[in-house]
Amino acid sequence: MKKVLLVEDDPLLIDIYTTKLKEAGFQVTVVEHGQKVLSALEKERPDVVLLDIVLPHMDGWEVLRAIKANDSLKEIPVVILSNLGQKEEINKGLQLGAARYFIKAHYTPSQIVEELATII
């Protein structure tokens, strides 16, 4: 079973994405604070990280930088799922090492799940 680490702080989105991912056969771990991501990655060793940018305590940019700077974690694909949709933000995410950048309003949860399956 493929593992997804969902990094999201919105309870509604957590519920929706957790449900959709589990229905598609993924094992899901949820982290709601940016500061807890690295320890969750070390513990869970997911196949992919689904990362929001706007998070409490440590934003997604810092999380992405920390993942890519860590030799034991940097190979885990990180997919950004954010409401931040400016071209500069998308480019920043990809330059920092994100595998893909999805704008929440442009994709349904089912489409995101399909995309994750192709990335893994």
Q: What is the CATH number of the domain that holds 79?
A: 3.40.50.2300
Q: What's the pLDDT score for residue 13?
A: 96
CA dist., res. 88 & res. 112, Å (int):
21
CA dist., res. 51 & res. 76, Å (int):
12
Would you say the pTM of this structure is higher than 0.75?
Answer: yes
Q: Give the model confidence (pLDDT) of 67-118 as tens digits.
A: 999 999 999 999 999 998 899 999 999 999 999 999 999 999 999 999 999 9
Q: What's the pLDDT score for residue 34?
A: 85
Q: What's the pLDDT score for residue 35?
A: 86
3-state class (DSSP) for residue 50 = strand
Q: What's the pLDDT score for residue 52?
A: 96
Q: How many residues does the chain have?
A: 120
Identity of the residue numbered 66 = A
Which structural domain, as residue segments, surrounds residue 115?
3-119
Q: Give the model confidence (pLDDT) of 2-55 as tens digits.
A: 999 999 999 999 999 999 999 999 999 999 988 899 999 999 999 999 999 999
As a whole number of angstroms, the longest Cα–Cα distance in the chain is 35
Scanning the structure block, which residue is given the tokens 């992405």? Answer: 64
CA torsion, ordered 112, 108, 10, 20, to nearest 10 deg: -60
When divided into structural domains, the chain yields a total of: 1
